[in-house]
Amino acid sequence: MRQFSARLFSFHANLLLLAVVMAIPHPACAVRNLKIGDSLPSFFLPRADGEGGMYNSEELAGQPAVIVFCRPYHQLSLDALKDLEAVASQVGLTKFRLLAVDTKLSTAQEIQATFADEKFHFPILLDPQRTLYEEVGLIVSPTTLLFDAKGGLRFVIASHPHQFRQEVQAQLRFLLGEIDEQTMNEQVHPAVHKIEADMTAAWHLYNLGKKLQNEGKTEQAMSTFEKAVSRYPSLVEGHCSLGFLKFSAGDLDSAAEHFDAALKQNPTFPSAQLGSAIVLARTGEDRKAEQMLLPLVGQPALDGRVRYELGRIYIARGEREKALKFFQDALASIFPEPESVQTPPLTQQ
C-alpha cells in the first residue's frame, strides 16, 4: 500500500509539473520571426514618454536587455509593465536595459494619458509603421523578450503568466551571472520544486517513523510522523499512522482529526476509512461506523481488524450470533489455517 501511494504522490507531482510546463507558452506562440539565439533587428523609434526624442537599438549593446511589446488600455500589458518596474527596482536598472514598445499604433499623447498615474523609469517607444512589430513577427501581446549581453535572444514570455515577475527576475539574474541555471529554474517554478522536496522529505520521515514504531519506540514514532505531515500535509499514510497511534493513546479527538485529514486527501483510502470508523464506533456512532466498515470486508491487510470492529458493534447491540461469526472470521483472517485443517465453529455458551 505504501509503495502504491508513493507512486500516486509521484504521479500527482509529475502531473503538477506537467501542468506548469504546459502553461508556459512556447516561443513560437509569441513571435514568428525570432528564435532563441537570434539577434533583435536594428531599430530607430520615437519615445512616447516625457523624455521625447528617438531611441536607437545600439543603446542596448553591452548589457542584457528586456523588451516588452505591449498595448495601452490592456490590463495584462499594464500588469507586465508594473512587474517589470518592480524587477528593475530590485535588480537595478544600471545593470541591464529595459524598454517597452507599443503595438497599437498609439500616439505619444495617448500613451502619456494612459500611464499618467504610473511611474515607469524606462523608455516607452512608439512603432508608428509597425516596423519592429513585423520584423519580430509578434503574435501575442504582451510578449517579453530577454536578450543576453551579446544581443542574443535567450528567453521569451508570452502574455502575463501568474509567475511573470519572478520568472523575469530569475532569468535576468541568470543573464547577469548572479545565479546559475539550476537556481534560475528553481526560482522560476518554486512551487513544483518545493512540493517535490517536501514530499521526498516527508516520505523519509514516514519510513523512519514506521521503523521506530516497529521497534516499540511509540513516542519517537509519533513525533516523527507529526514532522512528516507537517512537512507534507498531503501524506495520507502519515496521517493514518498518527491517527492509529493517537487512538491507542486514548486521544480520540486527535485521532479523528488525522483520519479526517487523510480522507480529505483520498476519500477512498482504506486505512483512513477504517480508522475513522473505529473512532465513530467508540464515540457512539456505530451506525455510521458500520456503513463505513462493511465495504471494507475482504480488504487485504485490513480484513481481520475490519471484521473484529464489526463484531464489537454487533456484540454491543446484542446480536451475539452475528458478532461471533465476525469474530471467528477475524481470527481466520489473521491466523489462516491450512485448507486440510477443519476448524470447528464457535458456539454460544
Looking at domain 31-188, which CATH architecture does it have?
3-Layer(aba) Sandwich (3.40)
How many CB atoms are closer than 10 A to CB 176? 16
Task: Return the pLDDT at 195.
Answer: 61
Span 87-98, pLDDT tens digits: 999 999 999 999
Contact 150, 55 (CB under 8 A): no
Q: How far is the C-alpha of 82 from the C-alpha of 303, rounded, in Å?
A: 60
Task: Return the pLDDT at 202.
Answer: 84
**Cell numbers placing 130:** 509597425
DSSP string for 1-27: -HHHHHHHHHHHHHHHHHHHHHHS--G
Q: Is the pLDDT of residue 21 over 50?
A: no
Task: Return the pLDDT at 229.
Answer: 87
Residue 33 burial by Cβ neighbours in a 10 Å radius (0-12, 13-18, 19+): exposed
DSSP string for 35-53: -TTPBPPP-EEEB-STT-S
Q: Is the pLDDT of residue 263 over 80?
A: yes
Percent of the chain scoring above 70 in pLDDT? 86
Closest by CA to 23, choosing from 188, 187, 243, is 188
Q: How far is the C-alpha of 155 from the C-alpha of 174, rounded, in Å?
A: 11
Mean pLDDT confidence for 131-149:
93
- Provide long-range contacts, Cβ within 8 A and 24+ apart, for 305-314: 305/274, 305/330, 306/274, 306/330, 307/333, 309/274, 309/277, 309/278, 309/281, 312/281, 313/281, 313/286, 313/289
**Cell numbers placing 15:** 502531473
Task: Return the pLDDT at 24.
Answer: 41
Task: Return the pLDDT at 143.
Answer: 94
Residue 225 burial by Cβ neighbours in a 10 Å radius (0-12, 13-18, 19+): buried
How many CB atoms are closer than 10 A to CB 31? 21
Task: Return the pLDDT at 14.
Answer: 44
Q: What is the mean pLDDT of the chain?
A: 85
Angle between helices 181-188 and 164-175 (to 10 degrees): 170
Task: Return the pLDDT at 240.
Answer: 93
From-to residues of CATH 3.40.30.10 in the chain: 31-188
Cell 541555471 found at: 181
Span 5-14, pLDDT tens digits: 444 444 444 4
Contact 45, 64 (CB under 8 A): no
Torsion of CA 133, 54, 59, 76, to 10 degrees: -40
Bigger pLDDT: 237 vs 3: 237
Span 38-84, pLDDT tens digits: 999 999 999 998 777 999 999 999 999 999 999 988 899 999 999 99
Domain covering 193-296, topology: 1.25.40
Lowest mean pLDDT among 15-19, 61-65, 99-103: 15-19
Task: Return the pLDDT at 344.
Answer: 56
Mean pLDDT confidence for 210-220:
92
From-to residues of CATH 1.25.40.10 in the chain: 193-296
Q: Is the pLDDT of residue 221 over 50?
A: yes
Mean pLDDT confidence for 137-160:
93
Q: Helices in the chain by DSSP H: which ranges? A: 2-23, 75-91, 108-114, 131-136, 164-175, 181-188, 190-214, 218-231, 236-248, 252-265, 270-282, 286-293, 303-317, 320-334
- H or E element that contains 155: strand 153-158
Span 288-343, pLDDT tens digits: 999 999 999 988 888 899 999 999 999 999 999 998 998 898 888 877 766 555 55
Whole-model pTM? 0.51
Task: Return the pLDDT at 189.
Answer: 74
Span 165-195, pLDDT tens digits: 999 999 999 999 999 988 888 788 765 555 6
